[in-house]
């Protein structure tokens, strides 16, 4: 019998998975986590005691795990490490220097070594992604499609470097390339700096990096990003079909319609 | 006899060239330009009348031209175009869509077609660039050198896409990739968004794009960028040796020393 554990980070994703998998066990690293479903079975864990976490999962009959929502990098106290965390520490330290992808690969590898199957949230809750086609708004104009193409080229070119998953192009001008600060910070930057170029519109494109493990690190869009894109004066948002999480799709569509933005699933 | 015309944009570069070439003719597209050297011979020109510009240069005995300082994209009135501008317009319109490099190549090509040799400011005033080595500050630490390497890799990878010429890396985290808004806007972004990552230091790297025409489009650093880099909390600035303009190098060094930043010419 497969039993699922949800490694719960912030945001609404844990609750979405709980709705589809009511018997899942929820693992949280945050003693104050306020986003766990009512009545769920919860395992409180610490990065400092990986051995205790794995033992607790096995004791609960867990065979597969899903990472749901961003985990903040904790401050760790090496004096509190258990033997398992101690054994994992060198690989984690090396991975931290190699970028976020490396860290995730290391964490995923540790769960797999312990015998857990790692599932993707989008596999467990299929409507978290959307196929190619328009979800909201008018059809993109020719200039929008050209901007989408250029942004896709940028993301594809940068992909091997493990940087961002988003870019903003405005009538051919590249105005934002996502870095570690994230999509919304990039959109704020565009909003604050675009006026002098006197060009209307533009697009945000989100797509995974080549080789990115979509089970644990799928790019995500949510309602806040729709609002930020509108405030940045963009015409719309395009996302890689089936490969970008849409967190609260209904609210995204409502906001996009209200702001006159298109939302477009794109084969990338 | 070679005579030089300086196509004067904003900033201090026209005056630097004038000091080395006192008999140069100055061409300005800005009737209010306040940065032309006292006593210089000035030709007022308009993008709408390229034929008049070329004729004026030839009448003044000009054989070579140098582009000095950024030109702002003007608002043009097609009704005022002379025959030469009309003839150039289709190529310029096509180039505008292809990015800044394309536009510059078209403008340079137009001058060359008219028989003018296009010179680079750095050729005419050699100390506008600096060779490999340290200009200011302490020696970069190992972490700084790793950040420089990563930024160089990013710029090299993005080069063919005609985007920016600068990147900021902070202890392995990519925090800024220069887009059309320029280096100082990127540094402001880093200053405003880095706190939550709790990592000190970092570097700004400036380097030309592969294939960039360094005669007319060399990346530039100036005192304001040194101040902005300090305000962004960086440890230093590295620039491609011999291939980045240092506008007012003395003031750059003074500010870098005062802020504890290194300035480093780097073989890229």
**Domain end marker among B124, B153, B183:** B124
Looking at the structure, tell me whether residues A137 and A27 fall in a common domain.
no
CATH code assigned at A109: 3.40.50.20
Q: Yes or no: say if B115 and B245 are a contact pair by the CB < 8 Å rule.
A: no
Report the C-alpha gap between B67 and B169 in whole angstroms.
31
Mean pLDDT score of chain B, rounded to an integer?
Answer: 91
A74 touches chain B (CB under 8 A): no
Give B35 to chain A, closest Cα distance, Å.
22
What pLDDT shows up at residue A102? 73
How many whole angstroms separate alpha carbon A216 and alpha carbon A9?
12
Find the CATH number of the domain harbouring B159.
3.40.140.80
Same domain, A162 and A248: yes
Q: Tell me the mean pLDDT in the region B129-149.
A: 97
Collapsing DSSP to helix, strand or coil, B68 comes out as strand
Of the three residues B98, B124, B150, the one that is the final residue of a domain is B124
Confidence of residue B31 (pLDDT cuts 50, 70, 90): confident
Q: Does A158 touch chain B (CB under 8 A)?
A: yes
Q: How far apart are CA B144 and CA B52, in angstroms?
A: 51
Q: Touching check for B197 and chain A: CB below 8 Å?
A: yes
User: What is the tens place of the pLDDT at every residue in A88-103?
Assistant: 988 888 877 666 667 7
Query: Which pair of tokens denotes residue B155?
Result: 């710029």
Q: Would you state the structure tokens that stand for residue B19, as one six-digit string?
A: 């000091």
Last residue of a domain, one of B80, B107, B124: B124
Supply the Cα-derived Rg of chain A in whole angstroms.
20
Judge if A255 and A141 occupy the same domain: yes
Residue A75 and residue A10 share a domain: yes
* B176-193: average pLDDT: 97
* Distant-in-sequence, close-in-space partners of A14: CB < 8 Å, separation ≥ 6: A6, A8, A26, A35, A36, A37, A68, A69
Judgement on whether residues B152 and B254 belong to the same structural domain of the protein: yes
Pick among A167, A177, A178, A186 to test the B interface (most B CBs inside 10 A): A177
Instruction: Assess whether B119 and B11 both reside in one domain.
Output: yes
**Region B9-31: what's the mean pLDDT?**
89
Same structural domain for residues B191 and B230? yes
At residue A101, the pLDDT reads: 65
Q: Are residues B198 and B100 in the same domain?
A: no
Q: What is the pLDDT of residues B57-112, one digit of tens each?
A: 999 999 999 999 877 777 778 889 999 999 998 888 887 766 666 777 888 899 99
Give, to the nearest 10 degrees, the angle between helix B223-231 and helix B249-259.
Answer: 20
What are the C-alpha distances in Å from A174 to residues A166, A171, A190, A234, B92? Answer: 12, 8, 10, 13, 19
Residues A158 and A251 in one domain: yes
Contacts of B185 in chain A (CB under 8 A): 189, 193
> Count of domains in chain B?
2
- What mean pLDDT is predicted for residues B241-263? 96
* Domain extent for B111: 4-124
Q: How far apart are CA A180 and CA B176, in angstroms?
A: 8
Q: In this complex, how many residue pairs, one in chain A and one in chain B, have their CB atoms less than 8 Å apart?
A: 63
Quick one: pLDDT band at residue B30, thresholds 50, 70, 90? confident
Identify all chain B residues contacting A99, using CB atoms and an 8 Å cutoff.
172
Q: What phi, psi does A98 have (nearest 5°)?
A: -95, 5
pLDDT number for residue A211: 79
How do residues A142-169 score in pLDDT, each as one tens digit? 999 999 999 999 999 998 888 889 999 9
Q: Are residues B207 and B102 in the same domain?
A: no
């Amino acid at each position: 019998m497969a039993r699922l554990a949800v490694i719960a980070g912030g945001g609404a994703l844990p609750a979405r998975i709980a709705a589809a998998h009511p018997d899942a066990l929820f693992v949280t690293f945050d003693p104050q986590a306020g986003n766990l479903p009512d009545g769920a079975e919860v395992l409180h864990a610490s990065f400092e005691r990986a051995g205790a976490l794995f033992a607790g999962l096995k004791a609960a009959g867990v065979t597969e795990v899903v990472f749901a929502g961003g985990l903040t990098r904790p401050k760790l106290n090496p004096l509190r490490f258990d033997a398992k965390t101690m054994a994992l520490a060198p690989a984690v330290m090396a991975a931290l220097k190699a970028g976020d992808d490396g860290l995730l690969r290391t964490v995923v590898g540790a769960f797999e070594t312990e015998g857990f199957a790692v599932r993707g949230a989008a596999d467990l809750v299929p409507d978290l992604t959307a196929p190619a086609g328009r979800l909201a708004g008018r059809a993109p104009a020719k200039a929008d499609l050209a901007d989408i193409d250029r942004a896709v080229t940028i993301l594809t070119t940068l992909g091997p470097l493990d940087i961002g998953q988003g870019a903003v192009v405005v009538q051919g001008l590249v105005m934002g390339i996502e870095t570690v600060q994230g999509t919304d910070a990039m959109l704020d930057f565009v909003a604050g700096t675009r006026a002098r170029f006197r060009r209307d519109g533009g697009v945000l494109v989100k797509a995974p990096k080549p080789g990115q493990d979509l089970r644990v690190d799928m790019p995500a869009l949510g309602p806040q990003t729709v609002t930020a894109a509108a405030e940045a004066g963009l015409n719309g948002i395009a996302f890689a079909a089936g490969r970008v999480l849409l967190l609260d799709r209904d609210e995204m569509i409502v906001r996009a319609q209200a702001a006159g933005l298109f939302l477009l699933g794109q084969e990338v």
